[in-house]
Structure 1
Amino acid sequence: MSDDRQLLESWFGEFLLHRSTAKPSPHTLKAYRQDFTAIAGHLAEQSGLAASALPVEVITKQSMQQAFAAFAASHEVASIRRCWSTWNTLCDFLFSIDAIVANPMSAVLRPKAPKRLPKALPADAVTRLIATLQEDDTDGVRPWGERDFAIILMALLTGMRSSELIAVDIGDVRGATDPSNGGARVILVRGKGSKERVATAEPALVAALTGYLESRIERFPGTAKQRVAADATPWQHFRSADPLFVGADGARITRGTLQYRVLRAYRRAGINGERAKGALTHQFRHTFATNMADENVSIFTLMRMLGHESMNTTQVYTEGAGTGVREAAARNPLYRMLDGG
């Protein structure tokens, strides 16, 4: 093996190549690189070498203990736990290919995760948010009330992550192009790790999405189909591969735009203090899950609705008894509020 291949940085590249077969998300890859860079920096300080010149032999129990002690001094528990997990996975890989003689991470203490229940928005805060979104926004920069109402309502009623909302295409809302289908629509959701699941939209949500698409045709007539039937629905003005939610430029909405619009909605409704620290779109996911748990949806059904792989992740919301996904989604109390019940 060449000298370059003996370097820790080169082995990290091999590790990323190895992990690529598991299809990690861009967020996961970014976290791997951040965690590697952080600890490699501390190892470099210990050894007096540049981080790019560190040999793989620098990984020992003592060096890792010292590096993580320095890292922990300036980071929160969640960051320390994630970084520990990254390096534990990396060292497992290095051990499996005989690059190191043992995984030293068992000698590095990992802090326990604090037991916190996800914070849901109170019912009165949700009511104020929905009412505010249905009012005209005259003070914002390039306001688009129909779009903001539709995307926030979809988050509240499906529990989708921000990345999942962004990724939805027109064609993923199945059945919406059929004007005779007045019932629920099926939404194909592309979750973490390219895993797919199904969410449902009751008529109230479909109506909000349809109203948004009508406004989109008016805003961006050039992005819609030019030749459609006179009685075509707003859905039929778009191609299946067109993004469902777009930004002010008519292109697929970005994460930054989505988070900004959500934050603005919180502030307009006067409920910004009701959300968990750092939670914007994800606050709606917690609210959705809590609402479903309060309706006694089974943990197995809720796992499917949220796209969780582990029951432990879902157990913080519910210990309830069973019901089907469609029936469970339809029981969301927010639908009753939208229907005036």
Structure 2
Amino acid sequence: MPGHHRLAPWFEEFLVHRSTAKPSPNTLKAYRQDYRSIADPLARAAGVALAELTVEVIGKGSMRAAFADYARSHQAASIRRCWSTWNMLCEFLFTADAIVANPMSSVLRPKVPKTLPKAFRADSVERLITTLQSPDEGGTRAWAERDFAVILTGLLTGMRAAELIAVDLGDLRDDASDGAGSAKVIHVHGKGNKERVVTVEPVVVDVLGDYLASRSERFPDTVRRRSSTGAGPWDRFRASDPMFVGRDGQRITRGTLQYRVERAYRRAGINGDRAKGALVHQLRHTFATAMADQNVSVYTLMRMLGHESMNTTQRYTTGAGTAVRGAAALNPAYELVGRSAASRDAGSHE
């Protein structure tokens, strides 16, 4: 047991307790951030250093005051997350007999908005795809093949920003359920270290191949030395290499990914159509809404999006059952990409 009733050692014990749930590094970072956000005002109010703060300061009045201070400079989503962290911490302290009761039920938190996630309309998606297939003449850091590949992957798989950043080339594999061998699946390392499989149809695989071919030209030093001259783009890299890279040839950063997505929206004239603060996540909303419009079952969509709670998925759909690959292939964006590709091929033969 942590000694002297100091809160900091108890918090470290709480993290050990939570470790059995296999939280991701981002989740652990959020726990620590949320702890400091409330512990700091608690320490100031008690007139002690943060390291000397004790569990005795945790009560209804002190927690309400600390959260009121926090709420003045933070958004509703941050307040809800911080409340959740401290609710788990206080429940842990109560179970360990370190406090007499969990006071968090007396601390108000913002309600989760019940509005449906905002998705791009079909015409906005068409403009985005058309724009991505045209040169970015005003861009100083333009890489058309990479931007098209990463945005199309997000649009047609619903992958989160962190998942697009973390995916490796070896995570894209043959779809065992596809007899023709043309479709692929991506093994996604999702939120909370949970894995799932998403399907990509041949048109996306082709776009990814074009991007990898351009990447091998941009960064010849990253190509496998043993790859033959006539090797396809997928054979030129290691399975452990990142799927998407930045202008330095290293794994793409979150800042670069979000910037390139926002630039694509601005070029397409659809930046005003997205939800506030949603960049890569706007693609995810659009994917989920497209699936819901095809009457995909809530269970299937839950698997496709990697949601833990069915309530989250039900914001998009209450439809009936469809198989995962069949559902993904129904996405109207596939037709738009195929139409654009056919136009390009026809133009190249004129």
TM-score by length of 2: 0.92
Structure 1 residue 158 and structure 2 residue 157: aligned? Answer: yes
Q: CA deviation at 1:198?
A: 0.7
Q: Would you say 1:14 and 2:13 are equivalent positions? A: yes
Q: What is the SS of the residue equivalent to 2:199?
A: strand
SS in structure 1 at match of 2:104 = helix
Measure, in 1, the Cα distance between the counterparts of 2:80 and 2:164. Answer: 28
> 1:293-323, CA deviations, whole angstroms, 9 ceiling, x for partnerless residues?
0011110100000001111010000011111
**1:120 aligns to what?**
119
Structure 1 pair 320–58 and aligned structure 2 pair: CA distance change class (3 A): same
Aligned 1:219-298 pairs, distance under 5 A: 219-298=218-297
Instruction: Quote how far apart the aligned CAs of 1:221 are.
Output: 1.1
Alignment check: 8 A CA contact 1:39 1:67 kept: yes
Q: Quick one: which amino acid aligns to residue 338 of structure 2?
A: D
Question: Secondary structure at the residue paired with 2:339?
Answer: coil
8 Å contact from structure 1 (residues 157, 201) kept in 2? yes
Displacement of 1:73? 3.3
The number of equivalent residue pairs is 337
Q: Residues 2 and 19 from structure 1, CA distance in 2 versus in 1: closer, same or farther, beyond 3 angstroms?
A: closer
Contact 1:121 1:287 in 2 (8 A): yes
8 Å Cα contact 1:182/1:203 also seen in 2: no
Distance 2:256 2:61 in 1: 45
Q: Does 1:188 align with 2:187?
A: yes
Q: CA deviation at 1:265?
A: 1.0
- What code does the residue aligned with 1:134 have? Q
More off after superposition, 118-127 vs 49-58: 49-58
Name which of structure 1's ranges 38-47 and 206-215 shifts more when overlaid on structure 2.
38-47
Which residue does the alignment assign to 1:210?
A: 209
Task: Write out per-residue CA displacement over residues 97-126 of structure 1, whole angstroms, 9 at most, x where no aligned residue.
Answer: 221122111222233222121000111111
Aligned match of 2:30? 31
Say whether the 8 Å CA contact 2:129–2:336 is kept in structure 1: no
Q: Deviations over 1:188-209 (max 9, x none)?
A: 1111121111111111111100
Q: Judge conservation of contact 2:174–2:181 (CA < 8 Å) in 1.
A: no
Instruction: Quote the residue 2:106 is aligned against.
Output: 107
Question: What's 1:134 paired with?
Answer: 133
Deviations 1:12-40 (CA, angstroms, capped at 9, x unpaired): 12212222222212222222122211211
Q: Deviations over 1:87-146 (max 9, x none)?
A: 000011111222112211122223322212100011111111111111112322321110
Q: Distance in 1 between matches of 2:75 and 2:161?
A: 23
- Superposed CA offset, 1:247-283 (max 9, x none): 1111111111111111111111121111111111011
One-letter code of the match for 1:52? A
Name the amino acid aligned to 2:298. I
TM-score by length of 1: 0.94
Q: Offset at 1:2?
A: 7.2
- Partners in 1 of 2:163 and 2:311 — Cα distance? 22
> Given that residues 175 and 181 in structure 1 are in contact (C-alpha distance below 8 angstroms), is that contact kept between their aligned partners in structure 2?
no
Distance 1:218 1:113 in 2: 47
Q: How does 1:87-106 map to 2 (within 5 A)?
A: 87-106=86-105
Unmatched 5+ stretches in structure 1? none
C-alpha distance in 1 between matches for 2:80 and 2:181:
47
Identity over aligned residues, as a percent?
A: 66
For residues 165-206 of structure 1, what are the alpha-carbon distances to aligned partners after superposition, in whole Å with 9 as ceiling and x for unaligned?
111111111039xxx965211111111121111111111111
User: How far apart are residue 284 of structure 1 and its match?
Assistant: 0.2
1:65: Cα distance to partner?
2.0
Question: After TM superposition, what 4+ stretches of structure 1 lie above 6 angstroms from structure 2?
Answer: none
2:291 partner SS? helix
CA–CA distance in 1 between the matches of 2:195 and 2:46? Answer: 46
SS in 1 for 2:114: coil
Aligned partners of 2:232, 2:69: CA distance in 1, in Å? 60
The answer on whether the counterparts of 2:2 and 2:9 sit within 8 Å (CA) in structure 1 is no
Deviation, structure 1 residue 79:
2.0
How far 1:163 moved relative to its partner? 0.8
Task: Give the match for residue 332 of structure 1.
Answer: 331
Q: Alignment RMSD, CA only?
A: 1.8
SS in 2 for 1:189: strand
What letter matches 1:200 in structure 2?
A: T
Show the counterpart of 2:347. none
Q: Deviation at 1:72?
A: 2.6
> Are 1:302 and 2:301 counterparts?
yes
Unaligned runs of 5+ in 2: 341-350
In structure 1, distance between residues paired with 2:335 and 2:304: 19
Q: Which residue of 1 aligns with 2:314?
A: 315
Amino acid at match of 1:237: R
Residue 73 of structure 2: aligned partner: 74
> How far apart in 2 are the matches of 1:286 and 1:60?
40
